[in-house]
Amino acid sequence: MTANPLLTDWNEPFDAPPFHLFETALFKPAIIESIRSATSEIKAIAENTAAPDFENTIAALDRAGRKLDDVTSVLFNLNNAETSREMQAVAQEVSPLLTRFSNDITMNEALFRKVKTLYDSRNSLDLTTEELMLLEKNFRNFMLGGAGLDPEKKEKYREISEELSTLTVKFEENILDDTNAFELHITDEGDLSGLPDGIMGMASLEARERKKEGWVFTLHFPSYMPFMKYSARRDLREKMYRAYASRAFHNDSHDNRELSKRIANLRLELAKITGFRNYAELVLGDRMAETTARVESFLEELHLASSPAAHRDFGAVKEFAEKCGHTGRIERWDWAYYSEKLQKAKYDIDDEALKPYFVLGNAEKAIFELAGKLYGLSFMRNNDIPVYNHEVSTWEVRDADGAFLSILYIDYFPRPGKIGGAWMTSFREQRIENGNDIRPLISIVANFTRPTETSPSLLTFNELTTFLHEFGHALHGMLSRCTYESISGTSVARDFVELPSQFMENYAYEKEWLSEWARHYITGEPISDEMISRIKESSTFNEGYACNRQLGFGFLDMAWHTLTSPLQEDIIEFETAAMQKTELFPQVEGTGISVSFGHIFGGGYAAGYYGYKWAEVLDADAFMHFRESGIFNRETALSFRKNILEKGGTDKPMNLYKGFRGKEPAIDAFLERSGLK
C-alpha cells in the first residue's frame, strides 16, 4: 500500500509541501492518523510521572502534533485559495474532528493540573518573558477550553464548539458560492457607457473564458469595484450592487441569515459556560484593549471625531451628483460612481489615471526592494518549489548576511476556487526545534486585476496598498525569531497583528518611494511629482466617510458579540440598530451586511474588527517616528524589526511597541493623517 504523501517527510526544497502529490481524498485519512499520533503525544505528557516543569509540560505541548499542523495548514489554505466541492466537503467533515481533538486536550484533567500547577507558581519558576507568555497563553487556553468545568458543562462545551467549527466553514462557503453564481453578461456595447478600455478588456476576456460573446462582469472585487466606479448605467450599477450586497441572502441553501444568528448564539452560550457574560469578554482578555468597555469607548471616540467629517463628505458627494444632473436621493450604488468623479474633479486623479503606472511586476520588485532597503532582505525566484496552482510564484527570502529566512508564496489573481479578498497565511510557522531555527513558509493570497491581452496586470491604488498591507503581515511571519511556534510570527493579539501590515501602507503615499519605480507601462515615463502630490492630497478624500463606515462594522461586530441573551429578532433589524449612528444611506431591501461578514462569522475577527482602527492609531504613530528620522532610515527600521517584527507574541504588545517607540502611542498622528484633526 502506497504511503499517504501528506504523512511522509516532505523532501522538496526547504521541506516545502509537495502539492502535486496531494489528492483531496487523502486529507481526511491523513488528519485522522495525525490526530491519533498527536493524541499519543498528549497522553505521554499528561501521564509523565516526573514533576511538571516548563520543559516537560508547556514546551512539550508546543511541540506536540507537528504533522497535524502541517496537514491542516495545507487543507484549510487550499480550501480558501484552490477549493472544490470535494475539498469543501472534507473541510466540513474534519472540522469537528479537529475541534474534538482540541477539546480532548483542554479537558484533560491530568494535563490541566500540570499546567495549573506551573501557572500558580509562575513567579518562582525563573522563566524568561517568552516562556512566561507561553505559559500564560496555555493556561488561558485551558480555561477558555473548558478545563475545570463539571462533566455536564464539558459535554455541552464539546457539542457547541464542534458545531461552531462546522458552521463557520459553511458560512464562508455560502459566500463563495453566491459570489461565483452571479454574472452580469452584456452584449450591447452601449451598456458599457463610462467604462474605461482596460475594464472592458478584462470583461471581454472573462466572457471568452466563459465561452460567451460580449462582456462579463462578476462579483469578484477586480471586476465589481471598477464597474461601480465607472459605469454610467445607473440601473446596471444597482443590479450589481444588489447582487453583491445580497450574497448569502436568498432564502436558499446558501442563505446565511439563520447561520449568523446560530453562530452568535452558540458563541454566547460558550462564553456563559466558561463564566463570561458575553463572547466579547471571553475574547478580549488577551487583547491590547482588554475589555468591552475600552473597545466601545475607543469606537465612540473615533466616531465622535469622524462623524462631522463623514456628513461633510456625504454632503459634498451629494451636491456634486446634483451638479452632474442627478435627481433624487443618493443611493448606495451611486456612491462609488460620484465619489470617483468628485475626486477626479478635485484632484485630477483617479484609478484609471494611476493604473498605467502601477504595473504589478514593477510593484512587486519595488516592494521587495523596499524590504531590502529597510531590513536588508533579498528575494530570489525559485521555480523548484511545488505550488498548488501554476499562477503561484515562490521566492527564497534571505537576510543581509545571506542566511535563509523564509519561502514566500504569492498568488495574485481571482479564480472560481478562491474566496474573495486578500490575506497572508502560512504553511509552516517559525520555531526553534532541537536547537535548529525552523524557518517559515509564508503565503500572500490576493484577488488583483488580471492582465489582459493588451496590457499587463495594472493595479488600482487600493490594490497597491493591499499588496503593501499583506506584505507587512508576511514580513511579520518571515522575520520571526521566536522559540515556540504558538507565539511566533503573527500569533499575537488580534488588535496588534495589523500594525506591521498597516504600517507598510504608508509608503504608497510617499514620493521618495513611488518616484523610484512607478513608470507608465507604455511610455516608460516616471510618475510625476505633481501626480504624487495629488495622491497625497487626495489621501484624506472621503476619509471621514470611510472611517465612519469602518466604525459601523466595528459597532456591528461588538453588537453581535456583546449579546447577553440569544438573539431572536430579525438580523436585519438587529444590524440596522447596531449601525444606526454611522449609517448615511437608507436600508436596501433584500440586502444585509452580517450574512457576508466573513471576518467575524467565518474568520478570526469576532469581537476584534475594531482592531483595524486600533492598529491604525499604532501604525500612524509608528510611521511618524520613521518620518522624524527618514522613511528609509535603517536604524529605525532595524528597531522596528527587532522589537516588533521578530518578536511575535513573546511579550505584551504594549511592551513591544514601547521597546520600538520609547512611549505609548498617541491618537494625534492618526487624526492628523486622516484629516480628522
The C-alpha atoms of residue 495 and residue 558 are separated, in whole angstroms, by 14
Q: How far out from the chain centre does Cα 208 lie?
A: 32
Instruction: Please give the single-letter amino acid code of residue 461.
Output: F
Please give the Cα distance from 601 to 605 (Å, whole number).
Answer: 8
d(CA 136, CA 132): 6
Q: Cα–Cα distance between 38 and 32 in angstroms, integer?
A: 10
Torsion of CA 575, 578, 584, 585, to 10 degrees: 20
Number of H helices, E strands in the chain: 27, 9
Residues 217, 186 contacting (CB under 8 angstroms): yes
CA distances from 196 to 79, 223, 298, 540, 646 (A): 34, 12, 41, 25, 44
CA 103 vs. chain centroid, Å, equals 26
CA separation for the pair 28, 274 (Å, rounded):
31
For 653, the grid coordinates are 504588545
Give the DSSP H or E segment for 514: helix 511-517
Q: Where are the alpha helices (DSSP H) in 145-256?
A: 151-181, 197-209, 221-230, 234-245
The alpha carbon torsion through 620, 623, 624, 628 (nearest 10 deg) reads: 180
User: From the centroid of its chain, how far is CA 633?
Assistant: 28
Over the Cα atoms of the chain, what is R_g? 25
The residues, any chain, with a CB within 8 Å of residue 361's CB and separated by 6 or more, are 456, 457
* Nearest by Cα to 422 from 463, 482, 371: 463
CA dist., res. 486 & res. 405, Å (int): 19
Q: Position of cell 503615499? A: 509
Distance, in Å, from the CA atom of 531 to the CA atom of 527, rounded to the nearest integer, reads: 7
DSSP string for 226-247: HHHHH---HHHHHHHHHHHHTT
- Residue 387: how many CA atoms within 13 Å on its side-chain side? 21
Q: By C-alpha distance, which of 95, 79, 77 is closest to 87?
A: 79
The residues that bridge with 438 in the sheet, in sequence order, are 431
Residue with the three cell numbers 508576511: 474
- For residues 488 and 482, the answer to whether their CB atoms sit within 8 Å is yes
- The pairing of strands 404-411 and 441-445 is parallel
Annotated catalytic residue 47: no
Q: Bridge-partner residues for 407, per DSSP?
A: 396, 441
Q: Which of 162, 172, 429, 470 is catalytic?
A: 470
Catalytic residue numbers read 470
